[in-house]
Amino acid sequence: MNLHKTFVVLLALLLAAMAMVPMVSAAGVQNPDAATIDELNAVSLNQSNTQLPQLQYDKTQKKVIVNGEFKIQESTQSTQIADMIAASAAPTVSDIPFGAIVHHSNDGITTVFDSTGQQLFAAKDSQASLINTPDGVLRATEVFEIPDKSLIVDDNSVTNVFYDKQRILTILDDSKGLQKKSASFTKQVYSPQTLSPQWIEYGETARIPTVGQFSARWNVPKNPILTVNYSQNRLDGSQSTIWNGLEDTNGTYLLQPVLEWYVKKNASDPNPSTANWSIATWWVSPKEYNNRGMHSTRRYGIPSTGELILSGHQIQGNMMHYGATWTGAITDLTLGVSSTLFLNSSQSSDLTYRNLQAYIVLEGWSTRALNPEDYNSSYIPGNVTFGNIIINDIDGYNAIPASMPGYVNSVNWSPSQYGLSVTNTSWPTSITLNTGNI
């Protein structure tokens, strides 16, 4: 009997000790990019307060049309842009060089300068193409593709982006209080009561006191059979997106590794032509003075081999907090390709690690541009099951909520017409977003 009591006491002590050990995921709680983050943070602290050059505005320069989201590229030269503008009666621009300074003014003009402050071009926001993003429709002047593993330092009206030990982009915004998007594309707050119209169906947790990691895996679903016709609406961008993400307390900032059904013919093509899957991590900030979408390099597969991201591939979306910095990464585990961005949350209170909400979402196109009632389930992907779900708190302990309620946006997307439903009976093992494309 004494032996039995001793065993019980030892077992109780063992269980207590186990309870004190953080729950470690298969991916581990230590950020694999810790050294890169530390280096970029050091660069950002050193350069963020460096005075910008005097901006040299040229009101006589003819306006350009921004016909696609801004793409920050080291290979783009200021002289190339100047020559192109001079040679064209109606110039169009989307690529901008490293070191660019972008100024959004309160009169609806976006002006882009090189790193010395020399004006490259100016554009009217109202004439820019419309981009369908995981945050809704934005003007092309508000959407930026930045290099893989860039660090975003978002400090309200000034945003800096750092890459490879240098500041590659500065965005200045003095349009506080001005709703830049047209009324027909005004952002809606995410919640079951006031849905973002293009959200088709999703699962959401309650607020989690602290989050240090949120990871999930899912297979690339069956392709949409039909493609939405964007051309007549001056609309570009994703037609369906699938993602897991974290949202801040006020419902205005979102970090999301995203699988997109986007237009692309081959992984080596420079421009989209036909629809295909791609991956990128998005940071969206739809505040009234900062309507903006930024994403890491969009990858369609392996350019050197032409291999594309295809149905059946396994995708992982992983967000981790380390050193006051978030890492957002999406990976095609089948091909071994990924796309990552870093977000410094110490200089902005908008996305720390407290009171965050976890989402799993299937999105479609902007319902304000294209009415879903004119389409059917052939325009959206097949069923998506999320598994390998990890939600840890800031200390690495398991913080998965007891439930993740599922919702169908029946206001904008007919459940019967699209075959929509959410299966969450196996939570937290898995949750499935069902569609009629089977």
Pairing assessment for the beta strands 166-173 and 100-104 based on DSSP bridges: parallel
Q: Which residues does residue 139 pair with via DSSP β-bridges, in sequence order?
A: 130
pLDDT at residue 335 in the model: 97
Please tell me the distance from the alpha carbon of residue 298 to that of residue 310, in angstroms, as a whole number: 15
Amino acid occupying residue 39: E
Task: Return the percentage of the chain with pLDDT > 90, whole number.
Answer: 58
Mean pLDDT of the chain: 83
Please report which confidence band the pLDDT of residue 374 belongs to, taking 50, 70 and 90 as the band edges: confident
Of these ranges, 270-284, 349-363, 419-433, the one predicted with the greatest mean pLDDT is: 419-433
Q: What is the mean pLDDT of residues 44-56?
A: 82
Q: How far apart are the first and last CA of the chain?
A: 61
pLDDT tens digits along 338-350: 999 998 865 444 5
Distance of CA 269 to the CA centre of its chain: 22
Which residues touch 237 (CB under 8 Å, ≥6 apart)? 69, 130, 131, 132, 133, 230, 262
Angle at 342 between CA 338 and CA 348, to 5 degrees: 155
Confidence of residue 20 (pLDDT cuts 50, 70, 90): very low
State the residue for tokens 């280096």: 39
Q: How confident is the model at residue 195 (pLDDT cuts 50, 70, 90)?
A: low
**What are the backbone dihedrals phi and psi of residue 132, each rounded to the nearest 5 degrees, phi first?**
-80, 115
- Flag whether pLDDT at 129 surpasses 70: yes
Express each pLDDT in 286-332 by its tens digit. 554 456 899 999 999 998 999 999 999 999 999 999 878 899 999 99
182 has pLDDT over 50:
no
Number of CB atoms found within 10 A of residue 336's CB? 8
pLDDT band at 31 (very low <50, low <70, confident <90, very high): low
Residue 338's pLDDT is what?
A: 96
Half-sphere exposure of 175 (CA within 13 A, CB side): 25
Contact indicator for 361, 243 with CB cutoff of 8 Å: yes
CA distance 399 to 25: 12
Running DSSP on this structure, what letter comes out for residue 53? Answer: P
Q: Which two tokens stand for residue 303?
A: 């350019």
Binning pLDDT at 50, 70 and 90, where does residue 421 land? very high
DSSP bridge partners of 392? 213, 398
Cα(215)–Cα(314) distance, rounded to whole angstroms? 13
In this model, does residue 4 exceed pLDDT 60? no
Residue recorded with tokens 């799993």? 360
pLDDT of residue 175: 61
Could you give the C-alpha distances from 196 to 270, 363, 384, in angstroms and in order? 31, 9, 20
**What pLDDT is stored for residue 391 in this prediction?**
97
pLDDT at residue 73 is higher than 80 = yes
| Beta strand segments in 223-274, E | 235-237, 240-247, 254-263
Question: Residue 381's pLDDT is what?
Answer: 97
pLDDT score, position 368:
75
Instruction: Enumerate domains of the chain plus CATH numbers.
Output: 65-173 (no CATH), 189-434 (2.60.120.200)
Gap between the Cα atoms of 70 and 317, Å rounded: 24
Q: What is the DSSP letter of 296?
A: P
